[in-house]
Structure 1
Amino acid sequence: MPLKQGTKAPVFSLASTAGNLFSLEETLKGKPCILFFYPKDFTPGCTKEACSFRDEFEYFSSVEIPVYGISRDELVTHIHFKNKFDLPFDLLADETGKVSKMYRAKVPFLNMTRRITYLLDHDHVIRYSYENMFGAEKHIEEMKRIIAELEVTL
């Protein structure tokens, strides 16, 4: 079950495919964002989800909401995944699963991440979350729908 809407998103720092340390507090200070947690690079569902975010990247850029993908894969795997599929957004390496656990995206007793997408506002308050393990493309549709509804307040 995802974190509750209206709560402050947990603060974290992770290695990024941008070649630096991504910090929610510093990198995105005063900016909304989308964080999508997914199980594993190069798997069919995760590839579909990442490529769907890629295909709609222009939309998210137009509303000034950066997108970040997070999984437990190593940074080097993320770099290969990003390059192979021309992903225009950064991927964050949560190798220990600590951030996935903070965001309730870790499957208990398994070394696996759930497919959960969060929309954070400029204060990094969770405005919306969507969880659907098998409907990868639905995450993008839901984010676009809720952004259209909340556009004025983000």
Structure 2
Amino acid sequence: MITLKEGDKAPAFSGKDQNGKKVTLSELKGKKVVLYFYPEDDTPTCTVQACNLRDNYALLKKNGFEVIGVSPNDEKSHKKFETKFNLPFTLLADPDHTIINKYGVWGEKQMFGNKYMGVQRTTFVINEKGVISKMFLRPKNKQHAEEIVAADK
């Protein structure tokens, strides 16, 4: 359950990306970070969202954003997802839910009347000082990059 709110200090994290490289929030200090959580690699909605961020990556970079996706998938799965869809940004593997739990995005979901636990699709925009400046609890998957840039104005 998400307890963070805009204006809160973003929880520190460390994880391995799709290439096995360690990535930490502290090394991104001074940059704007789009930290987006998604349920699973290579599923329809997750792919639409990732491809929107890919297609608008130049716009995001021009506006000073670093993009990091986080899901419970492992590094190997992320590498396949990155390669298949030519994703130009970092994907962090979080199979033990360490980062997911810090950000409170693991919770009850419902599909076709069935309730289950999973990652709630959520995006946190973290400013240069490490503070959450914007949260998208229900990102517009087909226009996600555009809504991020518009909210930064």
TM over 0.5: yes
TM-score by length of 2: 0.88
TM-score by length of 1: 0.88
Shift in Å, 1:131: 1.2
Identical aligned residues as a percent: 34
Q: Partner letter of residue 147 of structure 2?
A: E
Aligned length: 146
Which residue number corresponds to residue 90 of structure 1?
90
Aligned ranges 1:26-41 → 2 under 5 Å: 26=27, 28-41=28-41
2: CA distance between counterparts of 1:2 and 1:59?
30
Q: Partner letter of residue 151 of structure 2?
A: I
Q: Note if contact 1:2-1:129 (Cα within 8 Å) is conserved in structure 2.
A: no
Given the alignment of the two structures, is residue 8 of structure 1 paired with residue 14 of structure 2, yes or no?
no
Shift in Å, 1:146: 0.7
2: CA distance between counterparts of 1:19 and 1:77?
12
- For residue 129 of structure 2, the aligned residue among 112, 123, 130 is 123
- For residue 145 of structure 2, the aligned residue among 132, 140, 145 is 140
Shift in Å, 1:108: 4.5
Shift in Å, 1:29: 2.3
SS of the counterpart of 2:136?
strand
Shift in alpha-carbon separation, 1:76–1:126, aligned structure 2, 3 A: same
Structure (1/2) with the larger helix percentage: 1
1: CA distance between counterparts of 2:21 and 2:58?
23
Q: Note if contact 1:38-1:113 (Cα within 8 Å) is conserved in structure 2.
A: yes
| CA-atom RMSD in angstroms | 1.7
Aligned ranges 1:53-132 → 2 under 5 Å: 53-108=53-108, 110-132=116-138
Structure (1/2) with the larger strand percentage: 2
Q: Tell me whether 30-39 or 104-113 shows the greater mean CA deviation.
A: 104-113
